[in-house]
Amino acid sequence: MRTAGPVLLGVFGFPVAHSLSPEMQNAAIRRLGLRCIYLKFAVPPSMLSRALDRAESLGFRGVNLTVPHKEAALPLMDLLTPAARRVGAVNTVTFMGAGRREGHTTDGEGFLRATREDLGFTPRGRKVVVLGAGGAARSVCFALADAGARNIVLVNRTPARAARLARALVAEARIPSSAFRLSGRTPWKRLLEGAALLVNATVLGLHGEDSPVPARFLLRPMAVSDLVYNPPVTGLVVAARSRGLRAANGTGMLAGQGALSLERWTGRRAPLAEMRCALLAALARRDGGQRDPSGTDRTLPGSRPTAYPGRTRPRQAPAWRAYPGRI
């Protein structure tokens, strides 16, 4: 039986060493004066079910899930919120006691909070163009639909995938949607005409690529939201700002979804400004070549060490060494 100690929270991913969630969440926890701690754990896909069982037995209040676990977690939940069921992904797990788990997604709501605060954007009655058709795009699109967007245009390198998402939006959210191929011949002028927001929900920009949309088609008063947050200024953000458009990166969404998770677990309003500052500071340290102060990936007690193909495996730090009252 677990003795009294900090309330345990965490994030499961594979890999997860790059995650900035601990810096963000622990900054919020300190600001609120909560007796909690948030850690990150490397959990291979084959061990997700076992890791969730183990976390529950150790008294965790909840965990976030990141790649590649968001969709795989669906059948492992006892309850799913309507948002998680519709999006088909879980990024927030709450352990409810008596062996029951609730799966939720905060990604879409976090995106809406970020665009409202960073760009002054509200979706009701407006056209939005979304680049991408993966999990992030799905969360964003259904959140926009629920918030009253008038029309969503999807542009993706694999048009069949975009078409499936467009059909789901029409069928499940009853919002006009269409799909187009992202290529050198994309009819940007026609697609962006009348759009109030352009969202990049792809990884384009993550490795220093130029803007996926030629700058000449980025016209005011359209705003731009790029979900990539590292690097903090992508080719799309540069192009948008060069044309006088309001543009923001993915830091706001990352902080927004994390804040909503923390609020769900603690019942306290999360200090969003504090979380953003912690993220920006962590990004600055990383860009400066400084070591991530939260340490390496961790493994849950009782699970086997994680293999990292193609690179040196980091030292595994026991998650509970800091706690005098541990199992």
Q: What is the pLDDT of residue 206?
A: 86
Domain 121-245 sits in CATH at: 3.40.50.720
Residue 203, SS3? Answer: coil
Q: What is the pLDDT of residue 306?
A: 36
Fold of 7-106+257-287: Rossmann fold (3.40.50)
Q: What is the pLDDT of residue 307?
A: 33
Per-residue pLDDT of the chain (327 residues), as tens digits, is 345 679 999 999 999 998 999 999 999 999 999 999 999 999 999 999 999 999 999 999 999 999 899 999 999 999 999 999 999 999 999 999 999 999 999 999 999 999 999 999 999 999 999 999 988 999 999 999 999 999 999 999 999 999 999 999 999 999 999 999 999 899 999 999 999 999 999 989 988 899 999 999 999 999 999 999 888 899 999 999 999 999 999 999 999 999 999 999 999 999 999 999 999 999 888 876 444 343 334 555 544 433 333 333 333 333 333 322 222
What tokens were used for 56? 């529950």
For the chain, strand residue ranges (E) read 7-13, 36-42, 60-65, 79-80, 92-97, 100-104, 127-131, 151-156, 177-181, 195-200, 223-226, 247-248
The DSSP output letter for 267 is S
Range(s) of the chain covered by CATH 3.40.50.10860: 7-106+257-287
Q: What is the pLDDT of residue 135?
A: 86
Q: What is the pLDDT of residue 288?
A: 64
Range(s) of the chain covered by CATH 3.40.50.720: 121-245
Describe the strand order of the beta sheet including 7-13 as a list of residue ranges: 36-42, 7-13, 60-65, 92-97, 100-104, 79-80
40 is catalytic: no
